Amino acid sequence: MRLANTTIGPPSHYLHFPPQNPNVVHYAMLLDAEFADLKGKVIKAEKNFESAILRAEKRNQLNDAAKGEQRYGEFLLRHKKVKQASIHLQRAADLFDSWGAYLVLSWAVNL
């Protein structure tokens, strides 16, 4: 984590440079979620995952929304929230299917 912070700085740092590229803001949100999880800030991580997924879906970036749902589901599993995790992992599978990422979908089904 220290290496990540010193190498690239906190992810939200990149959101303050105008102009904000609307195509990549959700990436910073996902990184913020991952960093919050590493720091043990579960609620902040959940909010960032949800915001990133919503933003990707609004921009019709199905591949990014699917990956966000997958990471969020894995995060929830780590925190023993199995019921919520299954919802998000199923949503990830549905989005991967909609996007046409059948290889990723077949890999996920075989886990």
State both tokens at 100: 């046409």
The whole-angstrom separation of Cα 52 and Cα 49 is 5
Report the residue count for the chain. Answer: 111
Question: Which whole number is the average pLDDT over 98-110?
Answer: 63
Looking at per-residue pLDDT, the higher value among 67 and 4 belongs to 67
Which tens digits make up the pLDDT trace of 50-73? 999 999 999 888 889 999 999 999
Residue 111 Cα distances to 15, 32, 76, 77, 79, angstroms: 35, 27, 16, 14, 19
Which tens digits make up the pLDDT trace of 31-43? 999 999 999 999 9
Question: Which whole number is the average pLDDT over 72-79?
Answer: 95
% of the chain surpassing 70 pLDDT? 72
Plot region of 93 (φ>0 → left; ψ -120 to 50 → alpha; else → beta): alpha
**pLDDT for res 24:** 79
Alpha-carbon Rg for the chain in angstroms: 14
